[in-house]
Amino acid sequence: MNAGLAISAVTVVCVVTLGIGAFGLRLSRTTSDFYVASRVVSPGWNASAIGGEYLSAASFLGIAGLVYTLGADMLWFPVGYTVGYLVLLVLVAAPLRRSGAYTLPDFAEDRLESVPVRRLSSLLVIGIGWLYLLPQFKGAGLALSTVTGAPSWVGGLIVAVVVMANVVAGGMRSITLVQAVQYWLKLTAISIPVFVLLWIWLRHGAPQPHIAASPPGHQWTRPLSGFGGRDHPVYATYSMLVALCFGTMGLPHVLVRFYTNPDGRTARRTTLIVIGLLGLFYVFTPVYGVLGRVYLPTLPHGVQADSVVLMLPMAISPGLLGELLSALLAGGAFAAFLSTASGLTISVAGVIDQDLLRPRINARTGGDSVAVQGFRIAAVAAVVLPFAFSLLSVRVGLADTVGLAFAVAASTFCPLLVLGVWWRGLSTTGAAAGLVTGGVLAMSAVLVTMVGGVHSGWSGALLAQPAAWTMPIAFLVTVVVSLKTPSRIPKGTARTMVRLHAPETLTAGLPKPTPLSY
Amino acid sequence: MPSATDLSTLVIVITTAIALMTLAWALARALRRRGEFGSPVDRATYDTLHTAALASQHLHEGLTPQGASKAAKHLRALLGTQAIALCDTASTLAWDGTGAHHREQVWRHASEVLATGRTVVLGAKDVACGDPDCTIRTSVLAPVISEERVVAALAAYGSSASAGLVRATEEVAAWVSTQIELAELGRQRSRATEAELRALRAQISPHFIYNSLAAIASFVRTDPDRARELLLEFADFTRYAFRRGGAFTTLAEELGNIEHYLALEQARFGDRLQISLLVAPEVLPVAVPYLAIQPLVENAVRHGLESKEGVGHVTITATDEGAEAEIVVEDDGVGTDPEVMRRVLAGDQDGDSVGLGNVDARLRQVYGDDYGLVVETALGAGTRVSFRVPKYAPGVHPSP
């Protein structure tokens, strides 16, 4: 395979990302016009930015790979990834914005008025962030080795270095415009090849997918039949849906973007647009899985199903067109790795810096250290550890690992956020107990699955898709412990609740006088 | 390439090794700490100090019924008597130990101590009760004195009262007195902080009001429409500046107010005043103390223009720094002697630099000492004033 085009596409994406990082500030608007300067980020741009950061390797490559191997059941993945925002919209979007919190630990501290719960949330944010970063590095390695034949660690290393350089240099902190453009870049990269490939497929006389070659024990086209040839497909499907629906609100890089909205109303509108944008993107990804069944009934030995997206153009149309399309896809995939990994790294590094590193540095140096240094050390820590682990764990697919990150988020932050926003009776002790229970249960399930692979039988199903039992347990523990410890309900609960739920125009107290005209 | 099984075994081995090492380190530390107090005397000293420390935790809010009853348990351990009671000038606060039916009498027993401030020893005649199982016969009562007033009494109940017990009770009561005084000190400090915060209300410079009205007056005849517009700007500015309510607003609101302010300054200076803005839209919703930036801009206008010939530039920059926002106001004016600026920020003098010391004090008050103003200036080199605000700080919520 001629790797030149693909390599240049990946290089262009990396260089542009680094360039934007270096000249980041100059993209902001210089003006002497106050009207222009104080225009807030519109919901449309902000929604694109959320989409740009959210669509990760699992979305770009993983879903097609899953549909390719496992068939119709896997269509729930894109549905779940999108529906998570619907749950977010209905349950917590506007109150979360009104809380004024910038990160999840901020919300915990604001609502529960407790620093220990804040620390606990910080640890969980770091855990979930690392778990989510892991597949980004793995996916990058996979993508690069598919299109160029490089060893699988090279791609991950490139992403790790680019992200680290960018974050450490202080660029691409959270420039909304850049992440918004990333969304449209990814949408272009995934949709144009789909149209070209479908056109070629129609010209070939629309051949049927080769279903016989799929793994035995289930039918590729029948829903709820296989889930990867694993046992208890119905349980696995529902559990995964629970994880995706309720995990989105607990992802570290989602709340950060909501802060950019000026108020709760625009936060809701942003979420609505995000659902539309994600839905549009996810129309395209499963098509690759189906076309893969048509043109690549068996994969060459040693090639993972996740790379089917990148191999498809060459299989359908060998020659320049195929090369161009796979270069486009490789570039889009790298954009996906870079934007998601940057967003996560910034969130995780921010939390490490603020809650773990800075108190210790200040204790040692008496507050003399420069704030930027702490953030840089934190950024390196946030990238290096998951990258190292991405070299080790090889047993679980991209979308599966991401699913586990969602499961942990659903079992920890979902109870905290939903009960925190809607229940006056939530006590500090109850919230902490829920976070610990959900975190320990879900994290142990994740570790067992990542280290030992997916086992058969009920134990395997329960461990590989833990959300359906860990999330209700976490909710139950939070509620029961809260009811037992009414004295630990934060003193300011009533005031906080008013602030979270009353529209901004009400909390302003005084109506804004309109300018007189005479 | 190693197989997946090998790798997972490796991971398990490494994790176990790390866990074992952590455990061993924790054990070693715990053992070392034990070994530092070898002899029985050392142990006794350590135990006494530890008990006193435990009791002091519950006294840091002064003598409250909850705190007193929790502290009483540790105080009894210090004295080693059958029972102990604490009462203030109004009622009995706590009883710890056996014979709780004596609790009713404590306040009567303590009346003499509370009145005279002298230690009193009561015998069986005053203390003993009819219950044959109750061994409480005597009571030693010592005064707790805070700011030269008897505020409470500490009573030790037992079967006999030795000279040693009297001495020990007096010492413990004196120690409690110190704790109560510390608590009072803490309360006074928080009252002082609140008063300081009230005193640090945002300030409007009287020069500005005078200058604006003078500038408006100059337009009244030549350009009545402009004068009307400026008066409306002035009205908007004062409404914002004299508003009541929360201490915080959003950066967007504060910028809007600066717009009104600069419109009035431009009426005075015309084209001599050049403004440029570089504002990251992500930081517009950030909460800032209200009127935190306007004084910086006013200062920049003064130094950038008033005492200088020709055109002056003022640049306002707000950048997104992750969990914080940085706000910079820069001018290319005459600058200030760094030593003078240092004194202004220290609050020693407030003459030339409008309200900078006030803004600095308010920022430190709200966000802590890490978040004060940073001023870079030298004579003839312009001035750059910057500060950072965290995007979230507990208790900081903008009220529009």
- Closest chain A residue to the Cα of B368, Cα to Cα: A367
Residue A172 pLDDT > 80: no
pLDDT band for position A483 (cuts 50, 70, 90): very high
The bridge status of strand B248-250 relative to strand B312-321 is: unpaired
Which of B281, B324, B323, B321 lies closest to A176, judged by CA? B281
B242 contact residues in A (CB cutoff 8 A): none
In this structure, are residues A150 and A15 in contact, taking their beta carbons and an 8 Å threshold?
no
Determine whether the interchain pair A100/B398 forms a contact, defined as Cβ–Cβ distance below 8 Å.
Answer: yes
A453 contact residues in B (CB cutoff 8 A): 4, 8
- What residues 237-256 of chain B have any CB closer than 8 A to a CB of chain A? 239, 245, 250, 252, 255-256
Q: How far apart are CA B279 and CA A39, in angstroms?
A: 9
Burial class (CB in 10 A: 0-12, 13-18, 19+), B380: exposed
- What residues 264-283 of chain B have any CB closer than 8 A to a CB of chain A? 274-282
Q: Is A48 on the interface with B (CB under 8 A)?
A: no
B278 contact residues in A (CB cutoff 8 A): 25, 28-31, 37
Q: What is the average pLDDT value for chain A, to the nearest integer?
A: 82
- What residues 347-376 of chain B have any CB closer than 8 A to a CB of chain A? 369-370
Ranges of each domain in chain B: 41-199, 209-390
Q: Is A317 on the interface with B (CB under 8 A)?
A: no
Q: Is B380 on the interface with A (CB under 8 A)?
A: no
Residue B163 neighbours by CB under 8 Å, 6+ apart: none
A25 contact residues in B (CB cutoff 8 A): 278, 280, 319
Mean pLDDT on A45-74: 84
pLDDT at A24: 57
- Across the interface, which of B256, B280, B400 has its CB nearest the CB of A508? B400
In this structure, are residues B71 and B55 in contact, taking their beta carbons and an 8 Å threshold?
yes
pLDDT at A509: 45
> All domains of chain A, ordered by start, with CATH?
4-23+39-361+370-393 (1.20.1730.10)
Q: Is A302 on the interface with B (CB under 8 A)?
A: no
pLDDT at A451: 76
- Closest chain B residue to the Cα of A372, Cα to Cα: B321
Q: Nearest CA of chain A to the CA of B390: how many Å?
A: 9
- Closest chain A residue to the Cα of B235, Cα to Cα: A515
Determine whether the interchain pair B279/A451 forms a contact, defined as Cβ–Cβ distance below 8 Å.
Answer: no
Q: Is B195 on the interface with A (CB under 8 A)?
A: no
The encoded tokens of residue A76 equal 């729930």
Residue B38 pLDDT > 80: no
The runs of H, that is alpha helices, within A352-397 are 358-365, 371-392
pLDDT digits (tens, 9 = 90+) for A182-191: 899 899 989 9
- What residues 450-509 of chain A have any CB closer than 8 A to a CB of chain B? 451-453, 499, 504, 507-509
Suggest the residue from B18, B279, B330, B388 to mutate for an interface test with chain A (most A CBs closer than 10 A). Answer: B279
pLDDT at B231: 92
Q: How far apart are CA A157 and CA A383, in angstroms?
A: 10
Q: Which range, A51-60, A193-202, A206-215, B133-142, has the best average confidence (pLDDT)?
A: A193-202
DSSP H or E run through A408 = helix A398-422
Mean pLDDT on B307-331: 86
pLDDT digits (tens, 9 = 90+) for A106-147: 999 999 988 899 999 999 999 999 888 888 888 888 888 877
pLDDT digits (tens, 9 = 90+) for A384-437: 888 888 877 555 667 677 888 899 999 999 999 999 999 999 999 999 999 999
Residue B10 pLDDT > 70: no
Q: Which amino acid is at A504?
A: E
A40 contact residues in B (CB cutoff 8 A): 252, 281, 284-285
On the CB side of A35, CA atoms within 13 Å amount to 1
Suggest the residue from A26, A45, A102 to mutate for an interface test with chain B (most B CBs closer than 10 A). Answer: A102
Q: Nearest CA of chain B to the CA of A72: how many Å?
A: 29
A517 contact residues in B (CB cutoff 8 A): none
**How many CB atoms are located within 10 Å of the residue A44 CB?**
13
In this structure, are residues A435 and A117 in contact, taking their beta carbons and an 8 Å threshold?
yes
pLDDT digits (tens, 9 = 90+) for B250-285: 898 889 889 889 988 888 888 888 888 888 888 888
pLDDT at A514: 45
Q: Is B9 on the interface with A (CB under 8 A)?
A: no
Backbone angles phi, psi at B386, to 5 degrees: -135, 155
**How many CB atoms are located within 10 Å of the residue B270 CB?**
8
- For chains A and B, CB pairs below 8 A equal 123
B391 contact residues in A (CB cutoff 8 A): 102, 259
Structural Rg of chain A based on CA atoms: 23
pLDDT band for position B309 (cuts 50, 70, 90): confident
Q: Which amino acid is at A432?
A: A
pLDDT at B123: 84
A34 contact residues in B (CB cutoff 8 A): 255-256, 258-259, 262, 277
Q: How far apart are CA B346 and CA B344, in angstroms?
A: 5
B209-390 CATH, one of 3.10.20.30, 3.40.50.2300, 3.30.565.10, 3.40.50.970: 3.30.565.10
pLDDT digits (tens, 9 = 90+) for B194-253: 777 666 666 777 888 888 898 899 899 999 999 999 999 999 888 888 776 677 888 988
pLDDT digits (tens, 9 = 90+) for B66-106: 788 888 888 888 888 888 888 888 888 888 888 788 888 88
Q: Is B10 on the interface with A (CB under 8 A)?
A: yes
- Closest chain B residue to the Cα of A259, Cα to Cα: B285
- Across the interface, which of B12, B391, B397 has its CB nearest the CB of A451? B12
Which of A332, A258, A324, A240 lies closest to A55, judged by CA? A332
pLDDT band for position B136 (cuts 50, 70, 90): confident
Q: How far apart are CA A409 and CA B265, in angstroms?
A: 53
The bridge status of strand B273-279 relative to strand B312-321 is: parallel
CATH class of B41-199: alpha beta
Which of B120, B122, B115 lies closest to B149, judged by CA? B115
pLDDT band for position B118 (cuts 50, 70, 90): confident
Residue B78 neighbours by CB under 8 Å, 6+ apart: B48, B51, B52, B55, B168, B172
**How many CB atoms are located within 10 Å of the residue A469 CB?**
17
pLDDT at A479: 95
Percent of chain A with pLDDT over 70: 84
pLDDT at B81: 85
More confident residue, A506 or A510: A506
Determine whether the interchain pair B370/A367 forms a contact, defined as Cβ–Cβ distance below 8 Å.
Answer: yes
Q: Which amino acid is at B109?
A: H
The reported pTM is: 0.77
B319 contact residues in A (CB cutoff 8 A): 25, 28
Complex ipTM more than 0.90, yes or no: no
pLDDT band for position B7 (cuts 50, 70, 90): low
pLDDT digits (tens, 9 = 90+) for B353-396: 557 888 888 888 888 888 888 888 888 888 899 999 998 888 78
In this structure, are residues A337 and A159 in contact, taking their beta carbons and an 8 Å threshold?
yes
A513 contact residues in B (CB cutoff 8 A): 239
Q: Is A511 on the interface with B (CB under 8 A)?
A: no
Suggest the residue from B9, B273, B277 to mutate for an interface test with chain A (most A CBs closer than 10 A). Answer: B277
Suggest the residue from A38, A102, A357 to mutate for an interface test with chain B (most B CBs closer than 10 A). Answer: A38
**Cα torsion A63, A69, A71, A76: sign:** negative
Which of B310, B330, B319, B322 lies closest to B374, judged by CA? B330
Q: How far apart are CA A141 and CA A160, in angstroms?
A: 11
